[in-house]
Structure 1
Amino acid sequence: MSPSLEKSRPTRTHWLITLYAGGGEFCDGYILSIIGVALPLITSDFDLGSTMSGLVGSATLIGMFVGGLVFGYVTDRVGRQKVYLFDIAAFIALSVAQYFAPDAWTLTLLRFAMGIAIGADFAIAGTIASEFAPRKSRGPLLVVMVTMWSVGAATAYVVGYLMLRSGMDDWRWMLASSAIPAALILLLRFGTPESPRWLMSQGRTDEARQVVRQMLGPDADLGDLEAETTTRTRYADIFQGVYLRRTIFVGTFWACQLLPIYAITTYEPTILTSLGLDHGDTAYLGSVALQIFYILGSLSGILFINKGRRPLLLWSFALSAVPLLVLSILADPGPAAVITLFAVFGLASFSSQCLQAIYPSELFPTGVRATANGFATGASRIGAAVGTWGAPVVLGHSTRLAMFLGALICGLGWLVSYRLAPETSGKSLAEASGDGSDVPPAGLSTVKELS
């Protein structure tokens, strides 16, 4: 049997493409999390109130809204490879520029521009990795890719903590430090081939054949690519027919995942301090420790992703709500209880993070795959930005109230997923993105598949 993209075993090229796409996720996690360490220093340096502090913290998320909406469509029009390099180059320039920000408004604008580049990378990373990945390995490969976000976030907290301990507690160096991993990833991404699925959709069959044969050998079969050939890229397509339902589902579940996660990770040291971890650097050490559980939670998706996308999502939302609800009830939890509950939240919520890349890539055809990824990125960041901007205000009133609101959002995510989440596990991209595959399993029986 001739090898094909859908039926092959993962090759070295598959892994390199996944890791290079994951390198962008690493930078995204680093950039979005280092602000959590730097923000108290920025607030003190510029004497910011809670509103302006929230704006600095959420500016990147607002930029991601714009970047996702615009560059997902651009990626479907001009190709994956060009945007894939451009956004990382922007990371480098903007990271360095933050060091020289003279005031809070300039820094906010730079963080907003950084968000545009991150939004572009979110739209392209999952798209290009999924379009190269074989059917059976797509889920595990994308789990690895998405886990790099958590690794980047953990690295940011470690770097920030070490800088605080070393006396280099200048937020300017913290924010500029993201230029280092971005430069490395840019060098690695040079030479990444264009997606053969996108090439086929543009009628560039010879180029697509050449890419596939370089990966899989001279006998590689293009049949599974021809089944998904389309030349149309129209933004309106993701709002028509069954794709409208999928667009609503992806944007909503993604927003419900991110709102509590971004609000917590951005203000994690502040939250931990308010819950009793207020001795010296205990709050920062707690933040670093929790990142380990976030990474483990993200990696745990490998165990469940091929058993069912839908049950993984439902279980993740259900279990994420529990520790937040407990934190909203306990009047005076001890440090051990706080760390334990946030660790459970991290394990549960991050276990389904891979679906943010998998579902948009599997539910939409090649002509609008990056467009859908970009729109979902942008739409989800509305909720995340609202949560990050509003978190200082709510935390200033009551940490317990903030935890209760987080639990409610997880509950909303579960309800939307129960009503709309389809099952795409085991399907080719052509099968999953077709018009007839959007029938979610009925009843709670699907939730039991992971137990």
Structure 2
Amino acid sequence: MTTEASIRLDDAPLNKFHIKMAGLTFGAHFTDGYIIGVIGFALTLIQPQMGLTPLWVGLIGSSALIGLFLGSLVLGWVSDYIGRQKIFVTSFIIITLGSALQFFADTPMELFLCRVLIGIGLGGDYSVGHTMLAEFAPRKHRGVLLGSFSVIWTFGYVAASFVGFFMQNLGPDAWRLMLATSALPAFLILILRIGTPESPRWLISKGRKDEALAIVQKHVGPNVVLDDEAEVDSHQKRSFMALFSKEMRKRTVFNSLFFVCLVIPYFAIYTFLPSILNLMGLSENFGTDLLLNVILIVGAVLGIWFTVIFSRRGFLIYSFIFLSVMLVLLSVLPTSASFLMILVFAGFTLIMSAVSNLVGVFPAESFPTEIRSLGVGFATSMSRLGSAIGTFLLPISTASFGIQFSTMGLAIVLIIGTIVSIAWAPETKNLTLTEAATKDERTVKTALKGEK
């Protein structure tokens, strides 16, 4: 029964449980950044030892992204049927196992398969991690919590740079230990996730309201009540076709396209950063890497602040415009203008890192409970497919057409992202999770005026 003192789940105050769920989800993003970051250093040792061809270098470099595509697509769909919590735990069993198996890989194919397996686990976690936290988090803090994923991912990526730099001189087989170290944080997160509760919003969508209320009042507060009864009567099918229904198709296409348009240049550039800097005529050393890593972290932290003070829609659109201009400049500036190129590259890095926070916010806020994991998983899978293709093709493009042509190609991708965002980006700030996932733009604007 509700009382005057009752608080809706979306309006509950932030407590230790929310922080714990955020920490468990953040740990996954740290592991993801670490796994993606460490492979670049490992490949410098693996390539001569295994005699890798450029094809195998590209395949191994993009293998985790390929797995992410598969895992987020399939496991996100599965979680909407069997529950978030089961995939929340199972995904890290897969990641831990795949990370450890890398130590024993003796052929390119074995290493490729190990990293695809890791990517499948990461993809499943992307689908349910964002969803679990979004479905527990109060709307006042949801943007900050979801946007913080990018910061933690960046810390993982930077940590991998340090580990790779200092371990690469331990011998020709140092890559085995280097890659296997990702099993340590993965195993720790797995242990801590055991016993986490199911998402109450998912339970509501299955008609299990009593179980949902018990979880909410145990972990969020005894006076917290559920206000999502309408979702019990939802008849929307949990299938991929539901994502392309009349009500959802614009959200699905928008989340997939904006996500893809951000991550293609992000992964393509920073996976091959040393060679790109050299091709641009800029000196590359550990000091340069450290500077850019610091800018990545600063940008990610700024992104949290920007998510709080700016509208979601405005932040995304103006960031796309800025990034497009920066890449166009990098494609036309002469290599003799080194100082200006460094300045432009630093600005690009800062804003790219900042706006990347929105990839954890928009998808989780755009879909109703019954297909939220499916929607987040689909958008994530499309982004990782795009990033895998971009990462694979960039070395071929720079070798065949040069760095300026390739940079202009990436700028065109960002321009497409700008157009998509202007046309379709919704405004979800200050709305409850249900409102954000179901209202059209005109109704959203009315709701926001009412909030003010």
* TM-score over 0.5 (shorter chain): yes
Aligned with 1:242: secondary structure? coil
Against the structure 1 CA distance between its residues 124 and 429, is the aligned structure 2 distance closer, same or farther, given a 3 Å change threshold? same
Structure 1 residue 102, shift from structure 2 partner: 1.3
**What CA distance in whole angstroms lies between the structure 2 residues aligned with 1:85 and 1:321?**
39
1:83-120 Cα distance to aligned partner (Å, 9 max, x none): 11111121111111112211212212222222211111
Against the structure 1 CA distance between its residues 239 and 295, is the aligned structure 2 distance closer, same or farther, given a 3 Å change threshold? same
**What CA distance in whole angstroms lies between the structure 2 residues aligned with 1:351 and 1:182?**
26
**What CA distance in whole angstroms lies between the structure 2 residues aligned with 1:151 and 1:438?**
35
1:171-202 Cα distance to aligned partner (Å, 9 max, x none): 22221111111112112222321111111111
Unaligned segments of structure 2, at least 5 residues: 446-452
Q: 2:44 aligns with which of 40, 47, 56?
A: 40
Q: 2:353 aligns with which of 340, 350, 355?
A: 350
Structure 1 residue 217, shift from structure 2 partner: 2.6
Q: 2:224 aligns with which of 220, 226, 240?
A: 220
Structure 1 residue 39, shift from structure 2 partner: 2.2
Q: Hey, what does 2:271 align to over in structure 1?
A: 266
**What CA distance in whole angstroms lies between the structure 2 residues aligned with 1:56 and 1:395?**
19
1:27 and 2:38 are equivalent in the alignment: no
TM-score relative to the length of structure 1: 0.91
Q: How does 1:31-430 map to 2 (within 5 A)?
A: 31-164=35-168, 170-223=174-227, 225-229=228-232, 230=234, 232-277=237-282, 282-306=284-308, 307-333=310-336, 337-397=340-400, 398-430=402-434
**What CA distance in whole angstroms lies between the structure 1 residues aligned with 2:259 and 2:154?**
16
Structure 1 residue 311, shift from structure 2 partner: 0.6
Aligned with 1:184: secondary structure? helix
Unaligned segments of structure 1, at least 5 residues: 443-451
Aligned with 2:6: secondary structure? coil
Q: Hey, what does 2:448 align to over in structure 1?
A: none
**What CA distance in whole angstroms lies between the structure 2 residues aligned with 1:180 and 1:261?**
26
Aligned 8 A contact 1:38 1:160 in 2: yes
**What CA distance in whole angstroms lies between the structure 2 residues aligned with 1:13 and 1:441?**
30
Q: Hey, what does 1:445 align to over in structure 2?
A: none
Structure 1 residue 441, shift from structure 2 partner: 9.4
1:7 and 2:14 are equivalent in the alignment: no
Q: Which amino acid aligns with 1:252?
A: L
Aligned 8 A contact 1:36 1:268 in 2: no
**What CA distance in whole angstroms lies between the structure 1 residues aligned with 2:117 and 2:430?**
38
Q: Which amino acid aligns with 1:341?
A: V
1:375-430 Cα distance to aligned partner (Å, 9 max, x none): 11111122111101101112323222222222111111111111111111111111
Against the structure 1 CA distance between its residues 42 and 165, is the aligned structure 2 distance closer, same or farther, given a 3 Å change threshold? closer
Q: Which amino acid aligns with 2:298?
A: L
Aligned 8 A contact 1:67 1:120 in 2: yes
**What CA distance in whole angstroms lies between the structure 2 residues aligned with 1:217 and 1:440?**
31
Q: Which amino acid aligns with 1:116?
A: I
Structure 1 residue 167, shift from structure 2 partner: 5.6
**What CA distance in whole angstroms lies between the structure 2 residues aligned with 1:191 and 1:150?**
28
Aligned 8 A contact 1:143 1:299 in 2: no
**What CA distance in whole angstroms lies between the structure 1 residues aligned with 2:382 and 2:36?**
17
Deviates more, 1:321-330 or 1:113-122: 321-330
Deviates more, 1:23-32 or 1:184-193: 184-193
**What CA distance in whole angstroms lies between the structure 1 residues aligned with 2:343 and 2:104?**
39
**What CA distance in whole angstroms lies between the structure 2 residues aligned with 1:187 and 1:55?**
31
**What CA distance in whole angstroms lies between the structure 2 residues aligned with 1:354 and 1:207?**
33
Q: Which amino acid aligns with 2:295?
A: F
Against the structure 1 CA distance between its residues 185 and 362, is the aligned structure 2 distance closer, same or farther, given a 3 Å change threshold? same
Aligned with 1:300: secondary structure? helix
Q: Which amino acid aligns with 1:264?
A: I
**What CA distance in whole angstroms lies between the structure 2 residues aligned with 1:440 and 1:252?**
23
1:193-213 Cα distance to aligned partner (Å, 9 max, x none): 111111111122222111111
Aligned 8 A contact 1:18 1:129 in 2: yes
Against the structure 1 CA distance between its residues 19 and 336, is the aligned structure 2 distance closer, same or farther, given a 3 Å change threshold? farther
TM-score relative to the length of structure 2: 0.91
Deviates more, 1:383-392 or 1:212-221: 212-221
**What CA distance in whole angstroms lies between the structure 1 residues aligned with 2:354 and 2:242?**
31
